[in-house]
């Protein structure tokens, strides 16, 4: 959303508790629901970025530390120059869909394509394309921005339907983001649960909901919802490391050396290699919905877990555009080119790339297009297939996804996810800051593997 755009507002009819001055529920249609559901597709790194930009910036503890650690880490420590930019500018795999929303809180620019034209003009094809403004390391040329010619993928906002939600459907949305199709039964069940037995207690109001790049803000009505639900979602960022693992069985084990305070068995910091740091940095690229999925809708996630469960329970035929849209919201994928090592814990799959083609016209104009734009039976003379370069690999033709951080290297990772290059001096200073005597510390090996974050029968990180 451009900063100079007028502040966008969505109108909503709500029922307010007269005495508590609190929203009991709202009645909403597809436009509002589409906006709410789109939050599940936004990467955690983008959320940190959006919350920092608010007029009253909100800081979500550990995730904010993780983001700041990426900002502070020297570029030479990353696998490739572009890795830092990738982590600080996380992208939404469904950005194109979200730009069709009545209001899109994600400020990420549409994905651009860059091509090595000197190599492409030799008509040899190969890995010459990137979604990042970078260099082609094989020949050293700067990549040239290209317009990708592509046909819409069928998830257009067509007719009455919204982006995710079907046509004329109307919903009841509670203050803590439980969404149910509107019905008398649902309304009275909610009122009953809240102990509201008399209509006198309720007052109808028309609200202008201002998202202020953070989510519905019922501030004018309710003091209780003052906190952004994004905060409630990820407040306990350190717990990210004790997620229910969805890792494939043969995923690589990551070893850490944890410095533990003997007196309370608390991890003070961990000494970790580039594999672990790449893994925790990659958490910034995880879409919110995939985190809720990995955490198994843990109550620690607050209202965002309610929203996720609501999507899960919605009848596809009646309320959502298709089963694919439901899957998209419940298991959102990483943006194109963002996947990390396949054998890292919590590997989330990446959006599927198209097949890309390059062609120069007889008058020398260059075109880039994908398979939706190509007549496969008549591709045209001189059409070459171009593949995506691996932005994270020092060998850009490599097809295997890589981690973000260069190795071999050691880092210090504190319990609240501050990551710095390892240094004995910083460790001693840190222990001094925390007033932990050297006699009270011991070192333990932690193995992060396929089942859980293991440390002799206990999750410390
Ligand atoms: Zn080149």
Tens digit of pLDDT at every position of the chain (461 positions): 334 445 567 778 888 888 888 788 899 999 889 989 999 999 999 988 988 887 666 667 788 899 999 999 999 999 888 899 999 999 999 998 899 888 888 888 899 999 998 888 887 778 889 999 988 878 888 999 999 998 876 555 557 888 999 988 899 998 888 999 999 999 999 999 988 888 898 999 887 776 653 444 443 333 233 333 333 333 333 343 444 444 444 567 788 898 989 998 888 999 999 988 998 899 999 999 998 888 888 777 778 889 999 999 999 999 999 999 999 999 999 999 898 766 677 778 899 888 999 988 878 788 899 988 877 777 777 788 999 988 887 665 555 657 899 989 999 999 888 999 999 999 999 999 999 999 999 998 887 764 543 333 334 33
Query: What is the gyration radius of the CA atoms in the chain, in angstroms?
Result: 24
Cα(129) to centroid of ligand 1, in Å?
Answer: 9
CA distance 325 to 218: 28
Cα(390) to centroid of ligand 1, in Å?
Answer: 14
pLDDT of residue 296: 82
Taking CA 318 as the corner, what is the angle to CA 312 and CA 323, rounded to the nearest 5 degrees?
A: 50
pLDDT of residue 240: 39
The two three-digit tokens of residue 96, written as one number: 């194109």
Cα(134) to centroid of ligand 1, in Å?
Answer: 11
Cα(301) to centroid of ligand 1, in Å?
Answer: 46
pLDDT of residue 412: 96
Cα(133) to centroid of ligand 1, in Å?
Answer: 13
Cα(139) to centroid of ligand 1, in Å?
Answer: 4
Cα(398) to centroid of ligand 1, in Å?
Answer: 15
Cα(124) to centroid of ligand 1, in Å?
Answer: 11
Cα(114) to centroid of ligand 1, in Å?
Answer: 11
pLDDT of residue 398: 57
H-helix or E-strand containing 52?
A: helix 44-52
pLDDT of residue 452: 41
CB-proximal residues (5 Å) to ion ligand 1: 116, 119, 136, 139, 141
Cα(127) to centroid of ligand 1, in Å?
Answer: 9
Cα(396) to centroid of ligand 1, in Å?
Answer: 11
Cα(270) to centroid of ligand 1, in Å?
Answer: 41
**Euclidean distance between the first and the last CA atom of the chain, given in angstroms as a whole number:** 36
Cα(122) to centroid of ligand 1, in Å?
Answer: 10
Cα(130) to centroid of ligand 1, in Å?
Answer: 12
Q: Which DSSP letter does residue 292 get?
A: H
CA distance 149 to 160: 27
pLDDT of residue 211: 61
Cα(399) to centroid of ligand 1, in Å?
Answer: 17
Q: Which residues pair with 113 in a beta bridge?
A: 146
Cα(142) to centroid of ligand 1, in Å?
Answer: 8
Query: Which of these, 6, 133, 4, 106, lies nearest to 47 by C-alpha position?
Result: 106
Cα(336) to centroid of ligand 1, in Å?
Answer: 21
Q: In Å, what is the CA distance from 203 to each residue of 26, 243, 262?
A: 12, 42, 56
pTM assigned to the model:
0.86
Cα(119) to centroid of ligand 1, in Å?
Answer: 4
pLDDT of residue 8: 65
Residues with Cβ within 8 Å of residue 241, at least 6 apart in sequence: 280, 448, 453, 459, 461
pLDDT of residue 394: 64
Cα(117) to centroid of ligand 1, in Å?
Answer: 7
Q: Give helix then strand counts, H and E, for the chain.
A: 14, 18
* Burial grade of 441 (CB within 10 A; 0-12, 13-18, 19 or more): middle
Cα(148) to centroid of ligand 1, in Å?
Answer: 19
Whether the CB-CB separation of 135 and 401 falls below 8 Å is answered with: no
The two three-digit tokens of residue 71, written as one number: 């900002």
* Burial grade of 452 (CB within 10 A; 0-12, 13-18, 19 or more): middle
Domain ranges within the chain, ordered by starting residue: 9-454
H-helix or E-strand containing 253?
A: none
298 three-class SS: coil
146 three-class SS: strand
Cα(384) to centroid of ligand 1, in Å?
Answer: 14
Cis peptide bond upstream of 408, omega within 30: yes
pLDDT of residue 242: 41
Cα(393) to centroid of ligand 1, in Å?
Answer: 16
């Amino acid at each position: 959303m451009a900063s100079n755009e007028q502040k966008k507002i969505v109108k909503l009819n709500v029922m307010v508790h007269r005495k508590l001055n609190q929203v009991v529920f709202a009645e909403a249609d597809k436009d509002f629901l589409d906006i709410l559901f789109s939050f599940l597709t936004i990467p955690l790194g983008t959320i940190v970025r959006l919350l920092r930009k608010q007029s009253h910036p909100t800081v979500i503890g550990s995730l904010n530390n993780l983001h700041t650690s990426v900002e502070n880490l020297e570029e030479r420590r990353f696998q490739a120059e572009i890795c830092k930019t990738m982590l600080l500018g996380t992208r939404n795999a469904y950005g194109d869909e979200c730009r069709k929303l009545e209001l899109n809180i994600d400020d990420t620019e549409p994905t651009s394509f860059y091509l090595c034209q000197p190599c492409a003009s030799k008509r040899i094809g190969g890995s010459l394309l990137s979604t990042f403004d970078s260099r082609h390391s094989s020949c050293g040329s700067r990549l040239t921005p290209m317009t990708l010619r592509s046909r819409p993928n069928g998830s257009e906002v067509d007719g009455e339907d919204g982006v995710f939600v079907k046509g004329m459907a109307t919903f009841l949305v509670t203050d803590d983001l439980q969404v149910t199709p509107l019905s008398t039964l649902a309304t009275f069940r909610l009122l009953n649960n809240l102990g509201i037995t008399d209509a006198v207690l309720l007052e109808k109001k028309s609200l202008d909901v201002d998202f202020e790049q953070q989510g519905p803000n019922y501030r004018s009505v309710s003091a209780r919802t003052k906190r952004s639900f994004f905060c409630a979602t990820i407040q306990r960022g350190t717990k990210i490391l004790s997620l229910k693992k969805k890792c494939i069985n043969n995923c690589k084990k990551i070893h850490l050396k944890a410095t533990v305070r003997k007196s309370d068995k608390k991890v003070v910091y961990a000494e970790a290699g580039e594999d672990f740091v790449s893994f925790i940095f990659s958490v910034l690229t995880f879409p919110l919905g995939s985190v809720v999925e990995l955490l198994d809708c843990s109550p620690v996630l607050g209202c965002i877990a309610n929203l996720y469960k609501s999507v899960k329970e919605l009848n596809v035929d009646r309320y959502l555009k298709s089963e694919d849209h439901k899957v998209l919201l419940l298991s959102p994928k990483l943006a194109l080119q963002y996947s990390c090592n396949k054998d890292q814990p919590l590997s989330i799959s990446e959006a599927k790339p198209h097949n890309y083609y390059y062609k120069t016209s007889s008058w020398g104009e260059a075109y880039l297009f994908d398979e939706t734009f190509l007549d496969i039976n008549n591709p045209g003379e001189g059409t070459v297939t171009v593949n995506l370069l691996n932005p994270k690999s020092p060998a850009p033709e490599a097809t295997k996804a890589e981690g973000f951080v260069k190795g071999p290297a050691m880092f210090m990772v504190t319990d609240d996810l501050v990551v710095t290059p390892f240094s004995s001096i910083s460790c001693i200073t840190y222990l001094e800051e925390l007033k932990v005597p050297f006699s009270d510390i011991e070192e333990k090996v932690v193995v992060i593997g396929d089942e859980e974050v293991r440390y002799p029968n206990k999750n410390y990180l």
